[in-house]
């Protein structure tokens, strides 16, 4: 299938893709990637997407406890040498690995 875009959106897309190849953009995105990983870990472990309580003071306290729990988990991983920075593998990838082994 061939998709033809109007000229202005196409040129904006080409400029954005060219900008993403520069070193300054990559450096800025590296900072964001670290923050995204932290947010993802907080969502997976503590479930902070939804507050358990009503009221801003209680929600702030919940977020403070969640951040403390993440820090403790990361300290434990650092002290014990367990690296938590690995990519997840799908079940299909595990199956393919078993079949080739």
User: Is residue 15 situated within a structural domain?
Assistant: yes
Cβ-contact 25, 19 below 8 angstroms: yes
Q: Does residue 89 lie within any of the structural domains?
A: no
pTM of the model: 0.55
Q: Evaluate whether residue 37 is within a structural domain.
A: yes
Residue by residue, DSSP assigns 87-100 as ----HHHHHHHHHH
- The number of folded domains in the chain is 1
In a domain, 99, yes or no: no
* 73 contacts 45 by C-beta, under 8 angstroms: yes
CA distance 70 to 39: 10
Burial readout 35-48 (b: 16 or more C-beta within 10 A, e: otherwise) = eeeeeeebeeebeb
Structure tokens at 80: 């014990």
Q: Is 17 or 83 the better-scoring residue by pLDDT?
A: 17
Question: Does some domain include residue 72?
Answer: yes
Instruction: Give yes or no for residue 60 having a pLDDT over 90.
Output: yes
pLDDT one-digit tens code per residue, 26-59: 988 888 888 888 888 888 888 888 888 899 999 9
Question: What is the residue range of 70's domain?
Answer: 7-83
């Amino acid at each position: 299938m061939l998709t033809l875009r109007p000229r202005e959106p196409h040129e904006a897309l080409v400029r954005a893709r060219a900008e993403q190849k520069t070193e300054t953009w990559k450096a800025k995105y590296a900072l964001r990637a670290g923050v995204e990983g932290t947010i993802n870990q907080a969502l997976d472990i503590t479930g902070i997407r939804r507050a358990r309580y009503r009221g801003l003071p209680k929600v702030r306290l919940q977020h403070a406890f969640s951040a403390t729990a993440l820090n403790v988990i990361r300290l434990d991983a650092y002290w014990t040498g367990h690296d938590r920075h690995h990519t997840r593998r799908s079940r299909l990838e595990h199956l393919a690995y078993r079949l080739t082994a």
